[in-house]
Amino acid sequence: MPHIKEYIPIVGQSIIDDLHLLAEKLKDKCVQHVNSTAVGGGVAEILNRMIPLLNELGVNTKWDVIKGGEQFFEVTKKFHNALHGRSETIEQNDFDIFLETSKRNIEEMNIYGDIVFIHDPQPIALVDKKTGNKWVWRCHIDVSNPDQKVWDFLMDFIVRYDAAVFSAPSFARRLPIPQFLIAPSIDPFSDKNKDLSLETINVVLEKYGIKQDKPIITQISRFDRLKDPIGVIEVYQQVKRYIDCQLILAGGVATDDPEGAKVLTEVQERAKKDADIHILLLPQNDIEVNALQRASTVIVQKSLKEGFGLTVSEALWKAKPVVASNVGGIPLQIKHKYSGLLCHSNQGAAFAIKQILHDPAYGQKLGENGKENIKNNFLITRHLRDYMLLFLMLYHHGNEVIYL
């Protein structure tokens, strides 16, 4: 991990001074983060980078992970899909499984934080252990149009929190508790985002048999139906009719996502007849993800639903032109035709990619503008500031939506 002072050349001295000032006001508080997995997905990535920096700043910060079996994570995946508006058959038995596993976690988990920060629905029931401390529920997913039955079930827990945090204004819900709007972030010094030598990039491409003799279109994502990997293949096939190119679909499978392996198999089956489609399973190999993004001509994020889409920030930080769906938190990162191109369909995505491939200078300008936007709004230093302001504001009152 870099030290906090190493961010000064990127964000400026005043930003780091502000972080020290806020941290000083929190030196007597202990913050306890709880989520459902230590590896895979944006939440674990952010916590891995954020917690050491908070501790260096002087904010005592810990991280715990709940336990859950296969049935529990099958249910929470159903909840995840349903909260994104996808049709799911959810029965009373699913709620019973969720509550039974939650009961065991409530009995076994030690809650010690002055501020307990719960991430997403999986550990939401831990609020049963609330005493005189402050509790925050952080929702990382798009709940703009949730399945009402699942949302009503979760509301029984949410109303007992002191605050809720969402990633985008459109996700905010009518709640009797204060809501904070805080976007996620990336760390420019992480293995996934730091500068790489051309030699390192070439070694990764050689490892996977990827040549640079034609444009590379890439999507980096978990193998999840909501990331629409089959749709990405269809987009690539439309582009390839006009421009000879290749496609990389790369990513991992989160430990709390039982659907991942099945989706990966479907994608491999769909791609097996085309030697220019590279399906890569990269279990937590951030250097390789970084290298693939830097080697790409265009990066795609064709999500059907998206809480935020950190892969968009990652790509833009590398000054790459990005074509992404106009969903969830993605429009916060991309201003259409200025810092990337937004699309609403396979045809729209294919048209946008062809635009960039036909006009590399346009793609370069999109990437440059995108990097500047990420630098100003979506780096971890801004995220640290927002969270510390949130922690301080927990000791004030009010039910309004607060923009940080």
Q: Coil, helix or strand for 392?
A: helix
Task: Look over the chain and give the mean of its residue pLDDT values, rounded to a whole number.
Answer: 93
Sheet holding 322-325, edge to edge: 277-281, 246-251, 216-220, 298-301, 322-325, 341-343
CA distance to 50, 52, 93, 122, 194, per residue, from 1 (Å): 10, 7, 44, 28, 12
Average pLDDT value for residue range 146-164: 95
222: Cα within 13 Å, side-chain hemisphere: 21
Residue 163 has pLDDT above 60, yes or no: yes
pTM reported for the whole predicted model: 0.89
pLDDT at 255: 63
Residue 104 has pLDDT above 70, yes or no: yes
CATH tag, 4-185+380-403: 3.40.50.2000
pLDDT at 176: 93
C-alpha 47/C-alpha 35 separation (Å) is 10
Pick the closest to residue 85 from 158, 137, 149, 35 (CA basis): 149
Residue 403 has pLDDT above 60, yes or no: no
The CATH 3.40.50.2000 portion of the chain extends over: 4-185+380-403, 198-377
Residue 400 has pLDDT above 60, yes or no: no
Average pLDDT value for residue range 53-67: 96
Q: Which tokens in the block code for residue 283? A: 């279990």
C-alpha 283/C-alpha 404 separation (Å) is 34
pLDDT at 397: 58
Burial per residue of 53-64, b for 16 or more beta-carbon CB atoms within 10 angstroms, e otherwise = bbebbebebebb
pLDDT at 283: 73
Q: Coil, helix or strand for 244?
A: coil
β-bridge partners, 136: 117, 163
Average pLDDT value for residue range 179-206: 96
C-alpha 388/C-alpha 404 separation (Å) is 11
C-alpha 93/C-alpha 83 separation (Å) is 18
Q: Where are the alpha helices (DSSP H) in 68-174?
A: 70-83, 92-108, 148-158
CB 124 within 8 A of CB 98: no
Residue 227 has pLDDT above 60, yes or no: yes
Residue 170 has pLDDT above 90, yes or no: no
Q: How confident is the model at residue 235 (pLDDT cuts 50, 70, 90)?
A: very high
Q: Which tokens in the block code for residue 272? A: 């097996």
pLDDT at 260: 80
**Higher pLDDT residue, 260 or 266?**
266
Written out in words, the top-level CATH class of the domain with range 198-377 is alpha beta
pLDDT at 404: 46
pLDDT digits (tens, 9 = 90+) for 302-349: 999 888 999 999 999 999 999 999 998 999 999 999 999 999 999 999
CB 146 within 8 A of CB 152: no
Q: Which tokens in the block code for residue 29? A: 């508080």
pLDDT at 256: 62
C-alpha 393/C-alpha 221 separation (Å) is 34
